[in-house]
Amino acid sequence: MSEIAIHLQQVCCIAEGRALLDVGDLSIGHGERIAIVGHNGAGKSTLLRLLTGFMPAAHGRVDVLGRDLNGSPAPRELRALRREVGQIHQGLHLVGRLSALENVLIGSLGRVTGWRSWVRHFPVDEVVGAEAALHAVGLLARATTRADKLSGGERQKVAIARLLVQRPKLILADEPTAALDPAAAGEVCHLLAQAARNATLISVVHNPSLLPLLADRVIGLKNGRIAFDLPIATVDDQKLTNLYRPDEAAPAAPWPMTASNPSKLGRRQIFSNQV
Partner 1 sequence: MSVHALANHVVNRFSGRLGFLGLTLIYVLLVAACLGTLAREDELSLGRNPLANLVKTVGEFAHPSFLDVWFGNPQLEYKSDDGTVLRVENRQEVEADYLAGLGRATWTTIRIATLGSLLGALLALPLAVLTARNLAAPKPLAWLAKGVLDIARSIHTLVFGLVLVGIVGLGPTAGILAIGLHSMGTYGKLFAEAIESLDMAAIDAVRSVGATPDQVFFNAVWPAVLPQFVSSHLYVWEFNIRDSTILGLIGAGGLGLLITEATSLFQWGRLSTVLIVIVLMVSAFDAMSRRIRQALS
Would you tell me which residues interact with partner 1 (CB under 8 A)? 52, 54, 78-87, 89, 91-98, 103, 106-107, 109-110, 113, 117-120, 162, 166
User: From the CB of 166, what's the least distance to partner 1, in Å?
Assistant: 6
Q: Do 170 and 65 form a contact (C-beta atoms < 8 A)?
A: yes
Q: What is the dihedral of CA 55, 56, 61, 62, to 10 degrees?
A: 30
What is the radius of gyration, based on Cα positions, of the chain? 19
Give me the count of residues in the chain: 275
Min CB(27)–partner 1 separation in Å: 23
- In whole angstroms, give the CA distance from residue 19 to residue 229: 20
Residue 100 or 235 with smaller CB distance to partner 1:
100
Q: Closest distance between partner 1 and the C-beta of residue 250, in Å?
A: 35
Rounded to whole angstroms, the Cα distance separating 144 from 101 reads: 6
Helix (H) or strand (E) holding 64: strand 59-64
Q: CA-to-CA distance for 192 and 172, rounded, in angstroms? A: 10
Residue 155, classified by CB atoms within 10 Å of its CB into exposed (0-12), middle (13-18) or buried (19+), is: buried
Do 208 and 44 touch, CB atoms closer than 8 A?
Answer: no
- CB nearer to partner 1: give 110 or 254: 110
Give min distance, CB of 153 to partner 1, in A: 17
Q: How far is the CB of 79 from partner 1 (least distance, A)?
A: 4
Write down the least CB distance from residue 155 to partner 1, Å: 11
With H, G, I as helix, E, B as strand and everything else as coil, classify residue 196: coil
CB-wise, 98 or 140, nearer to partner 1?
Answer: 98
- Closer by beta carbon to partner 1, 130 or else 270: 130
Q: How far apart are CA 216 and CA 235, in angstroms?
A: 10
Q: How many CB atoms sit inside 10 A of residue 250's CB?
A: 7
Kindly tell me the sign of the dihedral angle through the C-alpha atoms of 266, 267, 270, 273: negative
Q: Which residues contact 233 (CB under 8 A, 6 or more apart)?
A: none
Q: How far is the CB of 109 from partner 1 (least distance, A)?
A: 4
Q: Closer CB to partner 1, residue 96 or residue 246?
A: 96
Nearer to partner 1, 178 or 227 (CB): 178
Q: Nearer Cβ to partner 1, position 117 or 269? A: 117
